[in-house]
Amino acid sequence: MDHQERREVIAHALWRVVDQHGWTRATLREVAREAGVSLGQLQHYFVSRAAMLTFAMEFAADRTADRVAGGLAGLDQPPHPRDVLRVVLAEMLPLHPDARASSRMSAAYVLEALHDPALRRQVALGLRDGRAMIERLVRQAIAQGQIAPDSDPDIETDLILALTGFAPLLELEVIEPQAALAAIDQHLSRLFTEASSPRPRQGRAVTSA
């Protein structure tokens, strides 16, 4: 097993510990036990829990990107921006085991970043990159006449990202997956059908919220 493969094995072990027991149990020793390696071996790859978590999140982001790419491949080409956003949002929610593990890791990552300045900057950069990707899709749709031309791309981007807030509601079984997907579909339908009947920005933002 080469260096990268060993790191990925450890990342998967961290996912399992967080998924089954929560972030507080994700110590270096516990993850080493779950990965089937000694503590010394694990520390050869990751000198701290923050370093291990950072790699696990980068690996999770790659897995999520692969799932999104797979979903987009099944759409008409070129895909409609509405369908792209639907695939992205669905994969960011804990709707199946792999996405659930990524969602719980992400929550742990943000929580750890609140108390680690270096990690905080890194997490914020990743979130800004994700937001920029959504904003590009929104601006593209406005330019192509698929979203009302008087829409505010910043507000619409933030409203779309707010839909990822369903994650804790799904995790705690406050709502069902079908309800989250229905809300996503309704919001995107409203956003993309308003191109034919534009309304003032303030009224649209209130309605979407």
Indicate whether 24 and 110 sit together in one domain.
Answer: no
> Within this chain, do residues 20 and 97 fall inside the same structural domain, yes or no?
no
Tens of pLDDT along 108-121? 888 888 988 988 99
- CATH classification of the domain holding 134: 1.10.357.10
* pLDDT surpassing 80 at residue 206: no
CATH number, domain with residue 22: 1.10.10.60
Structure confidence at residue 205 (pLDDT): 35
Q: Do 72 and 40 share a structural domain?
A: no
The pLDDT value given to residue 208? 36
Kindly tell me if the per-residue pLDDT of 68 is higher than 90.
Answer: yes
Statement to judge: residues 58 and 143 lie in one domain: yes
DSSP 130-193: HHHHHHHHHHHHHHTTSS-TT--HHHHHHHHHHGGGHHHHHHTTSS-HHHHHHHHHHHHHHHHH
Domain total for the chain?
2
Residues 103 and 172 in one domain: yes
Question: Domain limits at 2?
Answer: 1-47
Residues 22 and 122 in one domain: no
Q: Within this chain, do residues 98 and 85 fall inside the same structural domain, yes or no?
A: yes
Q: Are both 57 and 149 inside the same structural domain? A: yes
Span 5-29, average pLDDT: 86
Weakest-pLDDT range from 10-19, 128-137, 173-182: 10-19
* Same-domain pairing of 26 and 114: no
203 with 113, same domain: the answer is: yes
- Check whether residue 19 and residue 103 sit in a common domain: no
The answer, yes or no, to whether residue 176 has pLDDT greater than 70, is yes
Integer Cα distance of 42 and 184 in angstroms: 41
* Cα 102 to Cα 51: distance, rounded to the nearest angstrom: 17
pLDDT in the model for residue 1: 64
Are 17 and 53 within one domain? Answer: no
Residues, the chain: 209
Distance of CA 44 to the CA centre of its chain: 29
Tens of pLDDT, residue by residue over 127-147, are 999 999 999 999 999 999 999
